[in-house]
Amino acid sequence: METKELLKKVRKIEIKTRRLSNHIFSGEYQSHFKGRGMTFSEVRKYQYGDDIRDIDWNVTAKLNEPHIKIFEEERELTMMLLVDVSKSESFGTRNQQKRELITELCAVLAFSAMQNNDKVGVVFFTDQIELFIPPKKGKSHILRIIRELIEFKPTGKGTNISDALKFLSSVIKKRSIVFALSDFQDQDYEKNLKIASSKHDLTALRIFDPAEEKLPNIGLVQFQNPETGAIDWVDTSSEAIRINYEASYKRFVADFKSNCSHSGTDCLDLSVDRSYTKQLLEFFKRR
């Protein structure tokens, strides 16, 4: 992609998503995520009415007079975006591909964090870790993330959510806000989802296209798996095949939600053909 065209796309996304983050999402983001952590500030003498659970027994023993620890809200937070850039994210039958929706969502979330003066970092993954951008503050850093979201060319094609979560847990030690954006078309990631969720405030955003939910009745059709390259001929005129496909998809969605529930991970389904604004707002308020 030429530099001029890239900058034009970045600017277009910035204008759209920053307006949303400034006027809609930043307030909800701030009210939900700000000040959730507490950090040690100082020690002072115990006063009547203080919570005895805050007594610093070491200082009390040294000075022979009760002292308590004072904590303040931790003002600086870190947001990490765990972004699936596998081949299946290039699928789209409506106005945009799944990857394009992921790009918009990442931009909205990043600008909301920027309004809160928080750091933002990104991990791009396929069946391997493709790119790690350490968390930083500032508009130029956010624009770099958006540029990468638009033009990054992964080397892998498949999806390995488990390894991505494991990598996240290894490089980000401090408790952070984490949004995992993927279609979650993978298996055996429950263990690392639970580990990551215990360390971070983790939300799974499942991105999907309505065409993935049901097979249309259009006769004999050739399907290709974008991640493996495998090709299959499917007789979509068969009612039994369509019913089995729909049932299989519903089991997949149920498994995803079950994995999130058992690991303590919040989750939200977002379709490429619907506005995400209302859904995200309701999600923040519900949390």
Domain ranges of the chain: 38-73, 75-286
Q: What pLDDT score does 30 carry?
A: 65
Looking at the predicted structure, is the pLDDT value of residue 34 above 60? no
Q: Which CATH entry fits the domain spanning 75-286: 3.40.640.10, 3.60.9.10, 3.40.50.410, 3.20.80.10? A: 3.40.50.410
CA angle 264, 75, 70 (to 5 degrees): 95
212-239 pLDDT, tens digit each: 888 888 889 888 888 888 888 988 889 9
pLDDT at 176: 92
**Mean confidence (pLDDT) of the chain:** 87
